Structure formats: structure tokens, C-alpha cells
Amino acid sequence: MTKKNPPTRRSVAPVSDTAFAGWQLSLFQGFLANTDDQVESLSNAVDLWDSIPRYSISRARMNTMRTADGFLGVAELSFHYRGRALTARIYPAQIKNNDGQWKSYYPSAREELVEYALRKISAEQGAGFFDRSTYRSGARFSLYQLRKELEQQGHSLRYDQIIEALDILSLSSIEIECATDSGDGAFARSTYFAALSGVKRKDYETHRDTRWIAQFHPLVTQSIDHVTYRQFNYQRMMTCSTQLARWLIGQLVLKYTQAAMLNSFEIRYSTIKRDSALLAGYKLDRQAIAALDQAWDELKSLGALSTVKKIEQRGARSKLEDVIYTLHPTQEFVAEQKAANRRQNNAKDGISSAVEMQNRVEQLNKKHPVRATRQGK
């Protein structure tokens, strides 16, 4: 297999100044918190987009999947979202290495961190944009700003590593398919970053303020428009040492919305294995369960969970069939989820009021249309 044509990256069309301000964007950028430090620790989780196992193939696993020429095929991952079976197909990016050779990459852990960092940057005034007329959203940033954000969260990357991650995000495509009642598969396909614009320079320190623009996946734009995102403790997630722990945090934020000290949350090992696709590399279930247990311990140490109770389900000859985990939150996590609920409800109430007012104005204009008059008549 040889690469005949270099991949093309779609550039971001000019973004109007009005897209960097506006009521809908202010809802996305405005967090509910008591102090500035708390606001600084928050970002937005996107419901469907953050439930897709889009970063689950590690660099080590990629190395075992490549052809002799360095290329990867389309990865197909099955998962469930709110009880519905979906399939994610990931089309790898083709990147030219320093030796001039083309090589395939799926987005993985590094790209995940870069996307979360850019989403955090987009929550800053003047950095994020939402344009309903072209239905797109994204972030305006400099490489220095992105690198600094990653460093502050404990993930230092060189400029060339950041640029490669941005290239992979803007060149890799992901297709989401779900079965319809007719048996056909409805699907949606886009690159992880719908478009990317920037300037590559050798002397990054001299030109560190050069602005780049990343346009987010359409599902992120849709979430901003419909207010389906939730605020969450971004700093805790970025502190996690493994992707599995980050995935677990994300799912708790999105699904354990009624967290309370007397309200536990139950999840199975089989569910986590299916929907995260992060445990597929383990040969034995007991190895994967051990990794999962370590991830739960980390979430306890980071103040999200107080206790995790584990019940093994065994079948014939005591064969392990599944594990049920019952989770109990900390008071800190309960308070975070309650704040996220209030913020989301307030935003939706505000939108409903605005729509109702707009409808009343339109009805009034229909009943009493404004007529043009001529002076002097």
C-alpha cells in the first residue's frame, strides 16, 4: 500500500467578530461557581461526543496494527449510548514523518489531551466562537497558549508534538452509525476538528503569539446550540494518570447527574469494556479488571468517589462472567453535579424565555404590521 496523494486539511473560513461574542456563547463560557479558582478548574463535557470511544487505540497498539508500509485501516468500534447500539469508524490521518515517509495515526491519548485543553481555552472570552449562521464553533489560540495550558495541567509537550496532534485531529475522520427501524444505517461523518488554520514556523518562541483557529466537531457545535453540555472539574480529569480514569470521570459527569450521598451509582465491568474500548488490549479479563480497580482507586484519591463496592458474578465452575461496581460519591462531587444541574437548567430556562419572547414579537408584528409612511402626505 502506498500513499498516492498527500492528505488535505480544510482551513477555517474567516470567523466574524460577532461569533466571538453573543448570548449563546456566553452560556457556554459562563460557569456556576463561588470563586475564581473554582471557575478556573471548570470546563464543559459534551454528552454524545464525549461518550464515543474516539481515542481508545493506543500508540503501542497502533504499532501492531500497521502494515509493513506504515499504514492503518479503518478501525471499527461498537458501543452503546443511552441504550442505543452505535458504531464508530475511525479513519486514520496520514502524516509525513521527519524522514519524509508517510505513516498512519489514529487519534489517541495525546490528541485527547489537546482537544480537552482547546475546549477549556474556548471557554475564555475572546477565544471561543459560535456562529449559528454557518453552524460552527471552535477556539482561537496560539501554540504558546495551548502549550502553557497543557503544562499547567501536568502534560508538557514540545511544539512539534502539539502540531502533530493538531494535524492528526484535523485529518482523522470519524463516522458514527446507528441502525434505523428500516434496517438501514443512518450515519454522520466528519474530521475530529472540522477545520484548522495556522502558521507553521521553525522559531516558535519568536512567533509564539501567532493565532491558530480550530473548528470543533459538529457534535460539539450542536451541543453548544442545544445546551446539552455540562460543567465539570476539568483539572481533576487532566490530573488522571490513565485514559481509563479520564473516561470514568467523564461518564460519571454525564450519567451520574443525580449524585447524592444516599444515591449510589451502579456500573458493570462488561459495560465499561464495551463502551470505553480501552480494555481491549488485555488478554485476560482479570488483567483488565485489575486495571479498572486501579482507576477506581485513583478516582477515590482525587476526591470524586468515597467508596467503590465490587461484586463478582460467576457462572459454571466459578467462571467470572461480570463484575458489578457500586459507587458512592464524595460530598465534593455531589456539590459539583448539583452546580452543573443548576447551571444547565438556568441556561435552558433562559433560552425558553428568549424563544417565547421572540414568538410574541412575531405574533404582534403579524397582527399590527408596521406600515411605511411618506412625509408630507
| Chain mean pLDDT for the chain | 90
What percentage of the chain carries pLDDT values higher than 70? 87
| 186 and 78 share one domain | yes
pLDDT attached to residue 2: 41
Expressed as residue numbers, the domain containing 94 is 10-230
Each residue of 14-66: pLDDT tens digit?
A: 999 999 999 999 999 999 999 999 999 999 999 999 999 999 999 999 999 99
Task: Let me know if residue 44 belongs to a domain.
Answer: yes
pLDDT value at 90 more than 70: yes
| 219 and 70 share one domain | yes
| 264 and 145 share one domain | no
Each residue of 10-21: pLDDT tens digit?
A: 788 899 999 999
Task: Let me know if residue 114 belongs to a domain.
Answer: yes
Query: Distance between CA atoms of 49 and 253, rounded to whole angstroms?
Result: 13
* Chain centre distance of CA 375: 58
Q: Amino acid letter at 150?
A: L
pLDDT attached to residue 11: 81
pLDDT value at 4 more than 50: no
| 189 and 76 share one domain | yes
Each residue of 105-121: pLDDT tens digit?
A: 999 999 999 999 999 99
Task: Let me know if residue 3 belongs to a domain.
Answer: no
Cβ contact 327:254 at 8 Å: no
| 297 and 355 share one domain | yes
Where does a domain end: 230, 263, 284?
230
Task: Let me know if residue 4 belongs to a domain.
Answer: no
User: CATH no. for residue 320?
Assistant: 1.10.10.10
| 317 and 197 share one domain | no
Rounded (10°) angle between helices 243-255 and 285-301: 70
Give the mean pLDDT of 328-342. 98
Task: Let me know if residue 374 belongs to a domain.
Answer: no
Where does a domain end: 174, 207, 230?
230
Query: Distance between CA atoms of 287 and 103, rounded to whole angstroms?
Result: 31
| 114 and 263 share one domain | no
Give the mean pLDDT of 284-309. 97
- What pTM does this model have? 0.89
Where does a domain end: 230, 257, 277?
230
| 168 and 277 share one domain | no
Give the mean pLDDT of 154-171. 96
pLDDT attached to residue 351: 75
The pairing of strands 84-91 and 173-179 is antiparallel
| 42 and 152 share one domain | yes
pLDDT attached to residue 344: 94
Higher pLDDT, 286 or 368: 286
Task: Let me know if residue 307 belongs to a domain.
Answer: yes
| 127 and 180 share one domain | yes
| 341 and 215 share one domain | no
Number of compact structural domains in the chain: 2
Task: Let me know if residue 55 belongs to a domain.
Answer: yes
pLDDT value at 206 more than 90: no
| 212 and 354 share one domain | no
Each residue of 226-275: pLDDT tens digit?
A: 999 999 999 999 999 999 999 999 999 999 999 999 999 999 999 999 99
Each residue of 91-101: pLDDT tens digit?
A: 999 999 888 88
Task: Let me know if residue 235 belongs to a domain.
Answer: no
